[in-house]
Structure 1
Amino acid sequence: METSIPLSIDQYHEDVKVWKSNIALAVDEIRFIENLTQSYAFEPTTPNLFERLEDFKSEIYKIKKLLDNIQKLLSKHDLELSGMLECDTMACDIYFQEKHLLIKENYRQFVNSYGKTKTEIFNYCGTILKKRKK
């Protein structure tokens, strides 16, 4: 985990705001991916189509659990940041910094996992849809 000088409360809030915005976009994308994997837009003769789509649905389920966890962490952290103003000790600064870095690491894990899964699904589905146009 990285260490640095404690951020200002504005910097903490800005990080959380950016993370929440990116999470909101991911929620919309996941909804689209779920609709895509449940659609009939695929070439039915594609080998292992059903199995691959079921694997993707399973991966999306895992991603949604990660998403739910990070959303809860972010909401709680955002609320706790208001308490930072009342606390002016070094121990308090360290607590908020460590908590923020932990959430940042959770966020990075979500982004990496989601990005990998999304790319895999889009690459696979895009290939099948392109075949259909021929």
Structure 2
Amino acid sequence: METKNIFKSFNEKKSIEELKYNMLQFKTKIEEELIEYKFYENLIEASIYKTNAINLFENLELFKKEINATENEASDLFIEINLHSNSISNKIECDDLFCDNFFIKRHDELEEKTHNFFIKCTKFKIQFFQYLESVIIN
């Protein structure tokens, strides 16, 4: 049986430092993704492809569009994580349970969104690499 990569939150008992650290890790991973995607854009423009590959130009254009969309999503997510990271300190000021629960819920939503983003990136890379393998000159 295949295990599914489903988001699960463990944030209720985490300290402020742990929450900040997790957000910092997400920011770092998003920055790495953006660097990778810049490389993919350069790779698409390189003259390394078989001349007789069917629909080469069209497929590379589709990959370019997906790369651009993912870069935009990554930038937006980075900003969102940055804003949330800055607000984590406000959690200390929460004295009531409602405020605490609201904050954790927001943190969980952002963490899940980030989790799903990285899964999407991995799926894209698998498709992209498989395609490149079939059209790059050996």
Instruction: Tell me which amino acid in the other structure corresponds to 1:127.
Output: S
Contact 1:6/1:94 (CA < 8 Å) preserved in 2?
no
C-alpha distance in structure 2 between counterparts of 1:106 and 1:3, whole Å: 12
Alignment of 1:1-134 (within 5 A): 2=8, 5-129=12-136, 132-133=137-138
Instruction: Tell me which amino acid in the other structure corresponds to 1:120.
Output: Q
C-alpha distance in structure 2 between counterparts of 1:83 and 1:6, whole Å: 16
Point out the more displaced range, 91-100 or 70-79: 91-100
C-alpha distance in structure 1 between counterparts of 2:8 and 2:92, whole Å: 23
**Structure 2 CA distance for partners of 1:77 and 1:43, relative to 1, 3 Å:** same
Contact 1:6/1:97 (CA < 8 Å) preserved in 2?
no
- Per-residue CA shift, 1:3-58, capped at 9, x if unaligned? 65342111111210111111111011001011111211111221110011011011
Unpaired segments ≥5 residues, structure 1: none
C-alpha distance in structure 2 between counterparts of 1:55 and 1:102, whole Å: 30
Instruction: Tell me which amino acid in the other structure corresponds to 2:44.
Output: T
Instruction: Tell me which amino acid in the other structure corresponds to 1:27.
Output: L
Report the TM-score, using the length of structure 2 for normalisation: 0.86
Partner SS, residue 121 of structure 2: helix
Give the Å deviation of 1:128: 2.0
The count of residues paired between Structure 1 and Structure 2 equals 131
Aligned-pair identity (%): 26
Alignment RMSD, CA only? 1.6
C-alpha distance in structure 1 between counterparts of 2:63 and 2:103, whole Å: 37
